[in-house]
Structure 1
Amino acid sequence: MASVALGYLPILMFLGIAVLLSTAFVVLPIVASQFTGSAKPTPEKLAEYECGFPAFEDSRAQFDVRFYLVAILFIVFDLEAAFLYPWAVALGGIGFVGWAAMMVFLVELAVGYAYAWKKGALEWE
């Protein structure tokens, strides 16, 4: 029975370290902000810094759907690159079946790209 419990010891140690680190990553920035003064806002700290002028609309205003379409298309083509690099490295070991699977993937991606282009998702007014 003791040998079974010893088998779970590495998992329990891992979970304990994970809990300690995640707690530290949450608590330490809060404590540091109390000491650095970021918890006491001043007009200078609350000033606009991203665009340089005060916001003139509600922060919950709706965005144009084209922003989301561009983001989704970026993710699709970013994933393509993420799949192509390991495939290219392992191509010698996976042979023709791996090559054929990637060609099917690239054809599906090209069809999706053509569909997005035809629907006008890539055009900006």
Structure 2
Amino acid sequence: MSYAAYLPFLVQVVLAAGITTVVIAASQFLGQRALHTKIKDAAYECGILSDGSTHTRFSVKFYVTAMLFILFDIEVVFLIPWTFVYRDFLANHIAILSPMLFFLFVLVLGLFYEVKKGALEWEK
């Protein structure tokens, strides 16, 4: 095993760490210094005092929509690499189309189920 193959990676890590250190040090030493006062350190809220509780409760539908987004985002994570290796598998006579079609079928079936249950309707 040759360690020379890892040299470009090591150079990239050292350069990234060095540039990061230089940028942070330069901003620390050359950046503007401001006086800290109570007004300057307070949160900026457009000059309007907040009304009511700052910790509001969100509807469950918001979380369901977020989970559905993550689900279909994960679908893309599986589909993109599959598209890159499909030609290689096809050349070696390995059928990977049917498992991916089954995967998509299950996802579309789940989407129809969610639409039927009304999970994507905000106003009800």
Report TM bin, short chain. 0.5 to 0.7
CA deviation after TM superposition for structure 1 residue 98, in Å: 1.7
- Pairing of 1:1-125 with structure 2 (within 5 A): 40=36, 42=39, 45-48=42-45, 54-95=49-90, 96-125=94-123
Alpha-carbon distance change, 65 to 99 in structure 1, aligned in 2, over 3 angstroms: same
Deviations 1:86-119 (A, max 9, x none): 1111101223532112111101111110111111
Q: Which has the higher contact order (CA 8 A, sep 6+)?
A: 2
The whole-number CA distance in structure 2 between the counterparts of 1:37 and 1:93 is 58
How many residues were matched structurally? Answer: 109
Q: Deviations over 1:19-51 (max 9, x none)?
A: xx8xx99xx7xxx5xx866893525842215xx
Indicate how the Cα distance of structure 1 residues 39 and 67 shifts in structure 2: closer, same or farther if over 3 A, else same: farther
Q: Matches of 1:47 and 1:111 in 2, distance apart? A: 46
The 3 A distance-change label for structure 1 pair 120 and 90 is same
CA RMSD of aligned residues (A): 4.1
| Secondary structure class of the residue paired with 2:96 | helix
In structure 2, give the amino acid aligned to 1:40.
H
Q: TM-score, normalised by structure 2?
A: 0.60
TM superposition score normalised by structure 1? 0.60
Unpaired stretches in structure 1, ≥5 consecutive residues = 1-16
**One-letter identity of the residue aligned with 1:56:** D
